Copies of this chain bind each other. A is one copy, B any other.
Amino acid sequence: MEVITLKRISQVLGLSISTVSRALKNHPDISQNTKTRVHELANSLDYEPNINAISLRSKKNNLIGLIVPTISGFFYDSFISAVETECRKNGYTLMILQSGNDAEQETESLKICRQNRVTGLFVCLSTKTKSMDAFMKVKDADIPLVFFDKVPTEPNYNKVSIDDVTASKFAANLIIKKKHKEILAIFGNENLSITKTRLNTFNEICSKTKDVVVDNKYCSSSDEARELVRKIFTKKKKPTAIFCMSDEILIGVVKSIQELKINIPNEVAIVAMSDGMLPTMITPEITYVETSGYKLGLLAFEQMIKCINGAEGNANLFTTSTIVTGKSI
């Protein structure tokens, strides 16, 4: 079926294109009669302005890009949900690209965003990003850029992330307060900065209390965590508490513990950092430090709007974590 344009409407009504354009925008110059005629025809023909044409002419665009390793999961989906909600409220539309944690796909996604002349760009770095060059170019092109979750180490970018320091402190203090001395702390991918921060903070707090021994481990998957716990808990000397840096690790840990029929919290206490969905699904409910994707999404969007409105400088923001008390410690 024919696509309706201003031209088409102008032909039908015997008006010029510019008159139709102005009538549709209720421009004061146009007579009421003309306005009515134009609006009525436009409605009956289901006219919708062509955004491509508008963007081209105005050099403005209501598209906002978002590059993320993967959409599905415990954290990013709620982050994206928050961002979409805010975008809608502010008249923007979201373009989502998955990098699949692949540097090449990430670069490709970046290119797509640039070609689409996005007004702003949210990026969660892939684990394999080697160079920030491409992002530097985005900045140079004056495209507001807000990194979230996996953010670059360089200071000259806008970043929003979980307050890993506070969150880790909360978790460590929780465990220390309950007098645990033998702690198994399991962390994710060794190379990620969030891993480093969480590990360092957690250990720093623990080291302040006498006799506390922390056994730090890295696991890059649920299954690895599961296997690790299985091994450790079939030994004679068992930790009395486990700290899980993420939902992914928590899954593996809980599976092993349940399989070994070890009682939580009597035989082992568990404290996790989590988006919140998982801990409440487990019996007993796991005590965790909330690291909400949704909250982070709101914060990220807030910063984005500031950038779009011309804010200078580079913000480095954090969401505040809260402890959600379950029955696992």
Contacts and interface: CB of A to CB of B under 8 A. Distances in A.
Interface stretch (A11-19, A70-78, A185-193, A238-246): A70-78
Instruction: Name the residue among A3, A59, A77 with the largest chain B CB count within 10 angstroms.
Output: A77
A116 B1 CA distance: 17
Given A52-B117, A53-B56, A71-B84, A137 B46 contact: yes
A207 to B, nearest CB: 33
A199 interface: no
Interface in A6-25: none
Interface string A14-38: 0000000000000000000000000
Contact of A96 (B56, B94, B142): B94
Contacts of A73: 77
Contacts of A140: 1
Work out how many copies of this chain go into the complex: 2
Interface in A76-121: 77-78, 80-81, 84-85, 88, 93-98, 100, 105, 108, 111-112, 114-117
A55 B63 CA distance: 15
A278 interface: yes
Given A52-B53, A84-B96, A258-B283, 10 more contacts: A3-B117, A51-B115, A52-B52, A52-B56, A71-B80, A72-B294, A73-B77, A84-B97, A255-B281, A255-B283
29 contacts: A1-B141, A3-B59, A3-B141, A46-B137, A46-B141, A48-B114, A48-B115, A49-B115, A50-B56, A51-B116, A51-B117, A52-B55, A52-B116, A56-B56, A71-B71, A71-B77, A71-B84, A72-B80, A80-B96, A85-B98, A85-B100, A88-B97, A88-B105, A254-B281, A255-B281, A258-B283, A259-B283, A278-B281, A281-B281
